[in-house]
Structure 1
Amino acid sequence: MGIKNILIISYHALPFDVVASYRTKGYCDYLIEYGIFPTLVTHRWEKGSDKNWAFHNENEKIIYEKSNNCNIIRLPRPVERFESNSPINTIKHWVKGDFDLHLLNSYKLFKIFLFDHLKNKKYDAVLAIFSPHYHLKLAFEINKQFKIPYVLDFRDLWDNQIITKSYNPPLKKKIQDLIIKFYWRKWLNKSIFFSTTSSKWISYLEKLSSVKGIKIRNGHEISSLPKKNYKTNIFRIAYFGRIYPYQNLEIIIKGINKFINRNYPIDEFELCLIGIKNVGQFNGAQIFKKFINEKYIVEHDYMSKEELIKFSIKNVNLFILPNLKEDNGSFFVKLFDYISLNKPLILAPKNGSENDIIVKKTNAGLLTSSSTKIALYLERQYRSYREAGMVNVAIDKLQFKDLHRTKQVEILAKEIKKY
């Protein structure tokens, strides 16, 4: 069987350094190992003079990049905005299947390019990665026009809380949810299959449509765990990235305070919060500072992934990860980052999620719903730090290796090659 050619549609791609871009990168890097050659269509992600991601005129140059494992076509990135004070105008867009209103210019630009490109270029399949929504819409429209089969790949649901018991949105959001469900069902039902990152989401999307789903975790790209654990000048625990309002901070905060009180006075302890951004009006860092003595808290600005890894390897002893209040099917990609740094972690409270499964599978640290157990675990690791300048971890390297991104891509490739 010869090489299959696949067209990948993804707004997110490096050098735009967000989690979504690394899933796209994984497909571009590893599909060729399994007999599939990808061509990615994305935007030109370039920094402007103000150091923000630049916008372009729509008629600016298209950049073509070729390599042994993939081709990348970079379209200019048009201005992102949607200016309307009219709810009726917004709903009119929803009814047409346009939900990324600030990205309407991108959708139009992608569609014009792809419909022209596909007149002369043949592909065996299209892979459309959500989000944004318009990728799904484009795959459907391409199939209708050019009869190319397509796969839909979901990193998330449009709102991960929609599958939880506590989900109770306002009326406008309920209307939007109903319209999105209509279109997702329509787009899914014409796909050959879909992929997503958790069993809960597979179940939800299979019920929404009549199509089979497969699990493709995000995976990691670490070839080996760091061999050396550096001695640190202080017992430092850390969290990096966003803190969401549906994470349960209470158990970990109580555990940290019990640890502090049991070892008071303690001068060699620091809670390091790195690159914490507000989520809407929710300020997660402020909650830590409200309930933990601020003398133990140090905040750092955002770091690039490379800077973050270097900092964490040399300066962090242990990571904390407040779990979801209710399992909504989502997976913390930072969990792989934590494990890959060969540091122990605390995930709390238990909720039966994919996050729990990975921590247990890899023996990455403590999984508990007890603040007392958190305090005792911190105390044990603190004693190890006092004696040796570092902490103890015994990650199951074989289990971690099985979670490498190339293994996840292999699952997708095998399914594509059935068609």
Structure 2
Amino acid sequence: MEPKKVLVITYYWPPAGGPGVQRWLKFCTYLPEFGIKPTVYTPENPSYPIVDEALVKEVPVDLEILRHPIWEPYAIGKRVGKDATQTLSKGIIDEDPSLLKKFLLFVRGNFFIPDARKAWVKPSVKFLKRHLEENSYDTVVTTGPPHSVHLIGLQLQKELGIPWVADFRDPWTTIGYHKSLRLLPWNARKHKKLEAAVLQAADHILVTSPSTKKEFEEISKRPINVITNGYDRSNKPESQIDLDKSFSIAHIGSLLAKRNPEPLWKMLAYLCANDAAFKKDLKLVFAGVVAKEVKDSLRAHGLLEHAEFKGYVGHSEAIALQHQSQLLLLLEINSPETRAILPGKLFEYMMAKRPILALGPKGSDIKQLLEESGSGEFFNYDELTTDYLGAYLLKAYGAYKKQSLELEQQAIAKFDRKALSKQLAAVLKSETLARQSSS
């Protein structure tokens, strides 16, 4: 049987770094095993906020990749304020941004709808329309953010009638940072209108969490499948990695100001002040961009001496850090808008088999996933008591001292990238898409 041909339209692709690139890099690696032949379309000259050249080696050698130029406003923004522009392009929004950052946020939010990559839509439609007319594909897949990528799929569907799957790695108008864009009322409505147009037109919708599915079901009657992010067993360290000698608590990835876990810093400071051994053993490891507000908070609580800031690290180093740390820290903004977020690193944390200490909003999908898999403990900010958090930390520290800080993990095989690719292949071969393709 001939494999089904799928055109994947994505902004993030190696050498882009960070979690956004991992999802479709892994899907494109494993889909051929399940009768799907992907082709990737991506920018020729993107302005990636994070670069990881090592990921280029993970791209399958036989994968066809199409590229087309993109114009982005960040090049102009760098002339106005390099640091501010790079910060915004990474998604780092300060708690109290400078006047320049406020101005750039206003421009980004109100003049570039739905996002700063919108100028890629028209030339991509023109380029891909010609390519699709000359080459046979069964389905087009768009993955966002940036959600302007979905507008490419929307237009191709309208003009060519090709079946289209819209993959949402994050929500659109309910994502946590959306309120920080300082949208004028009519532009906020424009975002909602575009979101609804995509959700109501796509032949199939993919999301990464149950809460996002529930949210989108209120807007669209189209089929919606939850296919979470995951971990890749092939990315495990080749050799055994020894655990840190210190009682290390590691956070891997960008740590934004609004994710700053003040109750945790306060409790760690209290334990350090009342337990000399705990103070001596504690180490806080941060791999990725850390907001100034977080560093200021650590300083205020006297924890800066325990902190190690590694900056951005490559994917392989990040995985090594996950395997050697005593505890892995997962933080989400305390807001209803973030309940649907299941960060990609959560699944790699699972693969590391180190206990996860998670803080987030009430009703977070993270809590259910951690409980089902036995991968860690979730603390709800709204009901968080220092006694509860302190008891957990002391219990973990006690186990660390006995060299018995381990997990009784279960049911994580379904989050393996190959297993998730099999789920995706079933969607791409579904009767709904097949009928659309033949009509």
Q: CA deviation at 1:272?
A: 1.9
Moved more, 372-381 or 149-158: 372-381
Q: What's 1:284 paired with? A: 294
SS at match of 2:41: strand
Q: What's 2:68 paired with? A: 75
Q: Unpaired runs of 5+ in structure 1?
A: 55-64
Query: How do residues 377-416 of structure 1 correspond to structure 2 at under 5 angstroms?
Result: 377-388=392-403, 391-397=404-410, 399-416=411-428
Q: CA deviation at 1:224?
A: 8.7
Moved more, 173-182 or 220-229: 220-229
* Structure-1 separation of matches of 2:105 and 2:362: 38
2:160 aligned with 1:146, yes or no? yes
Q: How many residue pairs get matched?
A: 392
The equivalent position to 2:281 in structure 1, one of 246, 268, 289, is 268
Does structure 1 retain, via aligned residues, the 8 Å contact 2:17–2:52?
no
2:271 aligned with 1:254, yes or no? no
For 1:20, the aligned partner's letter is: G
What do the CA deviations read for 1:123-163 (whole angstroms, capped 9, x no partner)?
A: 1111011112322111111112211110111011224347x
SS at match of 1:210: coil
Moved more, 34-43 or 220-229: 220-229
* Structure-2 separation of matches of 1:181 and 1:350: 24
Q: CA deviation at 1:20?
A: 1.2
* Structure-2 separation of matches of 1:20 and 1:259: 36
The equivalent position to 2:170 in structure 1, one of 152, 156, 159, is 156
For 2:19, the aligned partner's letter is: V
Q: What's 2:80 paired with? A: none
Q: Unpaired runs of 5+ in structure 2?
A: 54-58, 78-102, 434-439
What do the CA deviations read for 1:314-351 (whole angstroms, capped 9, x no partner)?
A: 4x221222344134311122222222222112113562
* Structure-1 separation of matches of 2:361 and 2:405: 22
SS at match of 1:267: helix
Moved more, 203-212 or 169-178: 169-178
Q: What's 2:4 paired with? A: 4
2:362 aligned with 1:348, yes or no? no
Q: CA deviation at 1:16?
A: 1.0
* Structure-1 separation of matches of 2:34 and 2:331: 37
Q: CA deviation at 1:360?
A: 1.2
Does structure 1 retain, via aligned residues, the 8 Å contact 2:121–2:151?
no
Identity between Structure 1 and Structure 2 (%): 20
RMSD of Structure 2 on Structure 1 (CA): 3.6
Q: CA deviation at 1:80?
A: 4.1
The equivalent position to 1:238 in structure 2, one of 243, 247, 250, is 250
* Structure-1 separation of matches of 2:182 and 2:386: 38
Residues 243, 196 of structure 1: CA spacing in aligned structure 2 closer, same or farther, 3 A cutoff?
A: same
Q: What's 1:326 paired with? A: 335
Q: What's 1:297 paired with? A: 307
* Structure-2 separation of matches of 1:324 and 1:79: 28
What do the CA deviations read for 1:231-274 (whole angstroms, capped 9, x no partner)?
A: 43322212122223443613322332343234235322212222
User: Normalising by structure 1, what TM-score?
Assistant: 0.81
* Structure-1 separation of matches of 2:218 and 2:34: 30
Q: What's 2:208 paired with? A: 197
SS at match of 2:171: coil
Does structure 2 retain, via aligned residues, the 8 Å contact 1:225–1:342?
no
SS at match of 2:276: coil
SS at match of 2:330: strand
For 1:366, the aligned partner's letter is: E
* Structure-2 separation of matches of 1:306 and 1:150: 33
Does structure 1 retain, via aligned residues, the 8 Å contact 2:106–2:181?
no
Query: How do residues 43-82 of structure 1 correspond to structure 2 at under 5 angstroms?
Result: 43-44=43-44, 67-68=61-62, 70-78=63-71, 80-81=73-74
Point out the structure with the larger helix share: 2
